[in-house]
Amino acid sequence: RGGAPSNIFIYGTTGTGKTAVTKQVLSKLKERAESRDLAFKYSYMNCQHVDTKYRVLTQLCEDIGIDVPFTGLHFDVIYQKFKEALDDLDTLHVTVLDEVDMLYKKSSESLYVLTRMNSDLESSKISIIGITNDVNFKETLDPRIRSSLSEEEIVFSPYTAEQLNDILTQRSDVAFHKGILEFGVINLCSAVGAQQHGDARRSLDLLRVAAELAERNGDEKVTEIHVRKAQQVIERNTVIEVLTSLPIQTKAVLQAIFMGEGKTEAITTGDVYEIYSKICKLVRLDILTTRRVGDLINELDMLGIITAQVISKGRGGRSKRIHLTVPHRQVREVLESDFRLSKIFEVDSI
DNA sequence: TATCCACAGGAACGTAGGGACG
DNA sequence: CGTCCCTACGTTCCTGTGGATA
């Protein structure tokens, strides 16, 4: 209608279709706008990667067709550039910020800048759609941002097993020949997805991988066994992928945890650091400070590779109890394939 | 019950690597 | 060129703290 657009806030756990629906709606809107000759643009960004105000603006510029370097310019310069370009386009621009909580955590300023951009714009308007799976996010938000960001709210509830079942049935009718899927396969996939907070993506991936396994095996039907197998394959692949792409220092810390776990039950930050230092000496790696290693341990925790729980041992001090949460075999496999660290495994004692 | 250990984790800063611009 | 600004990764210095023990 050409009126002032509201900012929208969308909640919902992973795999409930927030992103898919948002994208779908926006592209429909775009179609409509085009057919009526209305100016409409949108850009989508995932704040896991786009997590500074600078990057947000860079991304926005790219989306409306301005070339900017990914680094080098003063923020204000980019801001001006974008503002002018957008005003020239005389359009309505919708900015989708997926996983806004990440952006806010790392740079609360960016959201503020975005919300107040409208007052700087003359002929164009900008509207923000924030997507998050953190239900408490709104409470942690700065009041000034909160009021303008959450003018309207939409909640996506998790899919139930039945809904997942419908989705899978519908998809599989298109993707597979009749009778390929053994009875119960879809049920199992949707049940697993429902357990994962109603995650449709998980269910679909599971079904796809199970089918691939069956095909590779030359089996005629996809059975529940394939699904179980697929579960393991997916799990394993994601773990290995994450581990392999870790920076060398983080890997060294992981290795220290790995070796420490073999010896004692509860391994602490201090233990890890001790082993880590020895490893570094052996492979001629710079030894980082405890402070930094503490952060690396936290990073591993965030990635879900380990759990690090703060505990107090009274006069024994406060520390973190650290545990690996991924299979040891996979950790070893990845570490052994890293040429810089592999030789540690040839040494008997650390 | 006050103490005190072994860290947790915040703040500020340094260095290296990169690109824009005059 | 030098200057200005960005990011990534690390360091230094620091204050804070849960709870078993003296």
* In a shared domain, residues A148 and A168: no
Inside any domain, residue A106:
yes
Q: Does residue A179 share a domain with residue A124?
A: no
Residue A250: beta bridge partners?
none
User: Do A185 and A293 lie in a common domain?
Assistant: no
Task: Write down which residue in A241, A273, A292 finishes a domain.
Answer: A241
- The arrangement of strands across the sheet holding A92-98 comes to A40-46, A92-98, A125-132, A8-11, A152-155
Alpha-carbon distance A86 to A108, whole Å?
23
**pLDDT per residue as tens digits for the range A58-100:** 888 888 877 777 777 788 888 888 888 888 888 888 999 988 8
Residue A339 lies in a domain: yes
**Whole-number Å distance, CA A316 to C1' B3?**
12
Q: What is the pLDDT of residues A323-339, one digit of tens each?
A: 999 999 999 999 999 98
How many structural domains compose chain A? Answer: 3
Nucleic acid strand B within 7 Å of A317 CB:
yes
Q: What is the mean pLDDT of each run of 10 residues along chain A (350 residues)?
A: 73 84 90 86 85 86 79 82 86 88 79 84 87 80 79 87 91 84 89 87 91 90 92 92 92 94 84 95 94 95 92 92 93 92 76
Q: Which nucleotides of B are covered by protein (CB under 7 A)?
A: 3-11, 17-21
Q: How far is the CA of A293 from the C1' of B11 (A)?
A: 18
In a domain, A1, yes or no: no
Instruction: Print the domain residue range for A167.
Output: 161-241
* Shared domain check, A324 and A294: yes
Structure tokens that stand for A209 in this block: 């991988």
Protein-proximal nucleotides of chain C (any atom < 7 Å from a CB)? 4-14, 16-21
